[in-house]
Amino acid sequence: MKTDLSDFEAFFTDHYATVCRALYLALGNEDDAEEAAQEAFARAFRRWDDVAGAERPGTWVFVVAVREARRVQRRRRRPLEPRLRVVAPDPGDRVASRMLLDDALRGLSARQRMALTLRYYADLSTRDIAAAMRCREGTVKATIHAALHHLRAVHAEDPLEECHG
Amino acid sequence: MDEHELRRVMLATAAGYDPETFASYRRVTAGVGRAARSWRAPGRRRVRLALAVCAVAVCVGVVTLLALPGSDTPTRVGIDPAREVAAGGARTSAPGPLAFTDTNHGVGLRSLCEMPADADPACTLTLLRTTDGASTWTPAGASFRVDYPDWRGGPFIDLAMHGDDGWIYGNRSFVTHDGGHTFTEHTPGGIVAALSMQEATTWAVTRGCAPSQTCTASIHVVDNQGGSWRELPEAPHVTSPYVELERPTEQTAFISGSFGRELLVSHDDGTTWSRRALPELCGETHRISAVSATVVWAACGEASPTQQQRKQVYRSRDAGATWELVAATSDVRAPGTLASKGSVTSFLATPDALWLTFDRAPMSRSTDGGATWTTGPDLGGDGPLTFANARRGWTVIGLDVYRTVDGGDHWRRVDSL
């Protein structure tokens, strides 16, 4: 099937920022996120006829971007240390959200961060996450379960939580 | 934290990150980037795609510029095919008031000077720190006032940082070992005309007299962690009042007076030196920039009082033994063409691009080793450039800090020092 190139423009506009943001949440680094995202979209562009004909092009580019993110991280040999920033309407909520997410993600492994991000930010299915992370669906479920368990524990131990009540 | 809360904070955090889309689309579709460089489309299809991409890129550019009023897009310049300038480790900043350790963390020097015509100048120096890529700055420590006795006009004041160690150097030199919280005067003797920090040591080229007077410079070394300055016993004589010092590695040093054709090279911590000749035009005025122990660039120009200047850019792959002309103004035939307008004020070669800034003309950039040059936006002045990586860089004009997040396509004023 031959597809008009303007479709790629629309596809890029619809998905690029979302892919970047997901990788940013998982990696904690804007440059790595954008490098991996651009690589994924460049691949999609090179074989756009095939990608456009896929069942879910958005998921396809997510899968490629996640795999590329791992290459980017390996190439730079830099430990994953999330340094996230946030802009929310309410400054108080902004600070609280950033601190909460920073603290929570800091205790997770890179694999757990990626799985949670793909599940709860990108809304990918377990099957798609497994494809992106090159593991079995059961492993994805176990990874997410363990990560959520950790987050609940971190939140429960938050000494400030008692002040909110 | 449950799933609902996690989703909420992820959405809130992600909303604060607005990735640049216009330049990214161009990279993805128009040949810039690691993936695009390996593009191997068949000939006829490549031509068809290229034509279509041009139309789409223009469309997306217009839409994006209209839709993103807050993006870093004051002015737009063309994009070049990306080819690496040179291999090897590289300096990524010209001497100036900014130093960045990564895309977010850096320091900047604010120097406010009183220069009365009939009295000694005095400056108030403040080191400022940023943790958000120069969007906001806060003092790293207390400001301090420095007097410059028996001096007229503006004193030399520059900044060099390496981790928590750093120098404010020039007519008087001060060292910090706590990230700029405190400074202590620690002069090697004389005016520090050039200073370079590497992993373990700091080198300084010092002169015992003002630029208008003739004297011989000496080279001093000190450990970054502290200790006393020690003079290099075998250092060659340098008499030029303005000196450049490039140290692409701990052991390698290039020293050159801004006037004259001599380039001094050492590959053994300054124990032995070789004298190399720069190309002829460099004898009038030049800037050098080394990207490795062997690859060094020179931007040379005539000492012209007009706004037009003959210019030439050379590359050496053998530490200055031989030179290859890569770009010039139209009076000389060269692979690349440089604009005549403006005199060169700074020159920076990074692994990703060559940068020239000019007096009274916008900066120029080449991403293909000097074969093609693009003119940047007019920021109303010029200042030394600093880059954290291929895409994110800064410059200071006056006290205003400008930032690019797309390798210099666009510059946006983000804050003031």
pLDDT tens for B328-369 read 999 899 999 999 888 888 899 988 899 999 887 899 999 999
Helices assigned H by DSSP within chain A:
6-27, 30-46, 48-52, 57-76, 91-106, 110-120, 126-133, 137-156, 161-164
pLDDT given at position B308:
80
Confidence of residue B68 (pLDDT cuts 50, 70, 90): very low
**Cβ–Cβ gap A5/B56 under 8 Å:** yes
Sequence-separated (6 or more) residues with CB below 8 Å from residue B224 = B162, B163, B165, B197, B199, B200, B201, B202
Estimate the crossing angle of helix B3-15 against helix A91-106, to 10 degrees: 110
> Global pTM?
0.58
Contact B32/B79 with Cβ under 8 angstroms?
A: yes
Of A125-139, B29-43, B217-231, give the range with the top mean pLDDT.
Answer: B217-231
Query: Which residues are B205's β-sheet partners?
Result: B194, B219
The arithmetic mean of pLDDT across residues B307-316, rounded, is 90
Query: Which residues are B265's β-sheet partners?
Result: B254, B274
First to last CA, chain A: 59
Q: How far is CA B81 from CA A37, B282, B307, in A?
A: 20, 29, 30
Confidence of residue B4 (pLDDT cuts 50, 70, 90): confident
Q: What is the DSSP code string of B188-219? A: -SSEEEEEEE-SSEEEEEEESS-TTS---BEE
Window 8-47 of A: residues touching B by CB (8 A cutoff) are: 8-9, 12-13, 16-17, 20-22, 24-25, 30-31, 33-35, 37-39, 41-43, 45-46
Rounded to whole angstroms, the maximal C-alpha distance in chain B is 73
**A148-157 pLDDT, tens per residue?**
888 877 656 5
Name the amino acid, one letter, at B139: P
pLDDT given at position B67:
29
Best of A2, A8, A9, A108 to mutate (most B CBs within 10 Å, chain B) = A9
- Rounded CA-CA distance B360/B84 in Å is 29
- Rounded CA-CA distance B53/A70 in Å is 29
Best of A24, A31, A106 to mutate (most B CBs within 10 Å, chain B) = A31
Is the pLDDT at A85 greater than 60? The verdict is no
Confidence of residue A88 (pLDDT cuts 50, 70, 90): very low
Q: How far is CA B359 from CA B64, B323, B363, B364, B379, in A?
A: 32, 26, 9, 12, 12
Residue B76, judged by CB atoms within 10 A of its CB (0-12, 13-18, 19+), counts as: middle
Which one is predicted more confidently, B51 or B359? B359
Contact B136/B414 with Cβ under 8 angstroms?
A: no
Residue A25 with chain B: CB contacts under 8 Å? 10, 13-14
Q: Is A133 on the interface with B (CB under 8 A)?
A: no
CA nearest to B103 within chain A: A31
Query: Which residues are B324's β-sheet partners?
Result: B315
**Cβ–Cβ gap B53/A5 under 8 Å:** yes
pLDDT given at position A93:
46
CA nearest to B389 within chain A: A31
pLDDT given at position B93:
64
Taking the CA atoms of residue B110, residue B114, residue B119 and residue B122 in that order, the dihedral angle to the nearest 10 degrees is -30
Choose the closest CB to B17 out of A21, A104, A155. Answer: A21
Q: How far is CA B258 from CA B19, B151, B241, in A?
A: 41, 22, 8
The arithmetic mean of pLDDT across residues B70-95, rounded, is 35
Q: What percent of chain B has pLDDT over 70?
A: 81
- Rounded CA-CA distance B135/B403 in Å is 9
Closest CA–CA distance from residue B288 to any residue of chain A (Å)? 29
Confidence of residue B411 (pLDDT cuts 50, 70, 90): very high
Q: Are strands B243-246 and B253-257 parallel, antiparallel or unpaired?
A: antiparallel
Sequence-separated (6 or more) residues with CB below 8 Å from residue B253 = B196, B203, B245, B246, B247, B264, B265, B266, B270
Confidence of residue B284 (pLDDT cuts 50, 70, 90): confident
As given in the structure block, the two tokens for residue A59 are 């998921």
CA nearest to B10 within chain A: A121
Q: How far is CA B291 from CA B86, B318, B369, B384, in A?
A: 7, 12, 12, 17
**Cβ–Cβ gap B52/A5 under 8 Å:** yes
Confidence of residue A82 (pLDDT cuts 50, 70, 90): very low
Within 10 angstroms of residue B69's Cβ, the number of other Cβ atoms is 7
pLDDT given at position B22:
72
Within 10 angstroms of residue B269's Cβ, the number of other Cβ atoms is 14
pLDDT given at position B51:
31
pLDDT given at position B73:
29
CA nearest to B40 within chain A: A46
- φ, ψ of residue A71 in degrees (nearest 5): -65, -45
Is the pLDDT at A105 greater than 80? The verdict is no
Confidence of residue B36 (pLDDT cuts 50, 70, 90): very low
Q: What percent of chain A has pLDDT over 90?
A: 13
pLDDT given at position A154:
65
**B180-198 pLDDT, tens per residue?**
999 999 999 889 999 999 9
**Cβ–Cβ gap A93/B12 under 8 Å:** yes
- Rounded CA-CA distance B30/B99 in Å is 32
Is the pLDDT at A86 greater than 50? The verdict is no
Is the pLDDT at A140 greater than 80? The verdict is yes
Contact B258/B244 with Cβ under 8 angstroms?
A: yes
Contact B131/B104 with Cβ under 8 angstroms?
A: yes
The arithmetic mean of pLDDT across residues B88-110, rounded, is 76
CA nearest to A26 within chain B: B10
**Cβ–Cβ gap B13/A104 under 8 Å:** no
The secondary structure element, H or E, covering residue B327 is strand B324-328
Which one is predicted more confidently, B295 or B92? B295
Please tell me chain B's helix, strand, coil percentages from 3-state DSSP, rounded to the nearest 5: 15, 40, 50
Confidence of residue A87 (pLDDT cuts 50, 70, 90): very low
Name the amino acid, one letter, at A30: E
* A and B: number of Cβ contacts within 8 A: 125
Name the amino acid, one letter, at B231: E
Is the pLDDT at B305 greater than 60? The verdict is no
Confidence of residue B386 (pLDDT cuts 50, 70, 90): very high
Closest CA–CA distance from residue B66 to any residue of chain A (Å)? 14
Is the pLDDT at B89 greater than 60? The verdict is no
Mean of per-residue pLDDT scores for chain A: 76
Is the pLDDT at A139 greater than 60? The verdict is yes
Is the pLDDT at A165 greater than 50? The verdict is no
Mean of per-residue pLDDT scores for chain B: 79
